[in-house]
Amino acid sequence: MRTTWRFFSSLFSPPSAGGGAPGARPPVHPLQPNEQRVPGSLSFPTLHLSLTAAGFSLLRALQWSLTFVIAASATVALWFWWDSRVIAELAAQREHATERAQETNRQFVQQASQAGMNVSEARANELGHQVAFVNRLTEQRAFSWTRFLSDLEEAVPPHISISSVALDFKEIVITLNGTALTLKDLTTLVNKLENHPAFRNVVLSQHRFQEQAGRGESNTPGKDEARTVEFTMTVTYRPQG
């Protein structure tokens, strides 16, 4: 019991004047200017520990990256929502305009029916055919047969006989039926039509060899000079201005 009392007395009692006696308590360093000691307290060594986990900086960078991605996604989603809203408004305007046009057409049909006018779909198709017929008549009047025959005469070589000419006024395509003295003459006709500035797209539809004096027909050429070549061809006519 005395030993214990002496131990605690040595801890809390002031140091002795001699200071170096064996078994005496080591001297206490004076306090720093900003340091305060609570009477009767003990001094413990200071231990510095880092509580930051390894890789915390990388985790923080990943967190900021995810935040940026989420913000960008929200911005894009907002833009798409606004764009879809604008498109929906435009579609509603178009639909409203279509409904008004249909209502106007219905009113026009009713007024025309009351006035005794036929504006049905069948009548509209009939009018379309009539307009096309009038346009064809106008094209026929504007077509110069004199100029066409003059251009054709320039392109037809000797030993070629044209038996019929058919003209499609819509496409200005001419169908020529005739007879050539030889196959070489027919080839010359095709070449001259292709080289003429008023004719193009020459197509030889068919040809056959015809014997004169009732000798019969043949589809293969022979050496008999009495044979002629009957042909049918189409050509596009574009007169030069």
Report the alpha-carbon distance of residue 21 to residue 30 in Å, rounded: 20
Residue 163 lies in a domain: yes
CATH number, domain containing residue 207: 3.30.1360.100
Residue-number span of the structural domain to which 208 is assigned? 144-237
pLDDT tens digits for the chain (241 residues)? Answer: 445 445 445 545 555 544 455 555 555 445 454 455 555 555 556 655 555 556 677 888 888 889 999 999 999 999 989 988 889 889 989 988 999 888 888 887 777 777 777 667 776 777 776 676 556 656 666 667 788 888 888 989 988 999 988 887 767 788 999 999 999 999 999 999 999 988 989 999 888 888 765 544 445 544 545 678 999 999 988 877 6
Residue 182 lies in a domain: yes
Three-state DSSP at 222 gives coil
Residue 134 lies in a domain: no
Residue 196 lies in a domain: yes
Residue with tokens 């070489």: 184
Residue 54 lies in a domain: no
Residue 129 lies in a domain: no
Residue 194 lies in a domain: yes
Q: Lay out the sheet containing 199-211: strands in order across.
A: 160-168, 173-180, 227-237, 199-211, 217-218
Number of structural domains (the chain) is 1
Residue 27 lies in a domain: no
Could you give the C-alpha distances from 14 to 24, 29, 41, 101, in angstroms and in order? 11, 13, 14, 112
Report the alpha-carbon distance of residue 96 to residue 108 in Å, rounded: 18
**What's the whole-model pTM score?**
0.40
Per-residue DSSP letters for 178-191? Answer: EEESSHHHHHHHHH
Q: Indicate the residue type of 133.
A: F
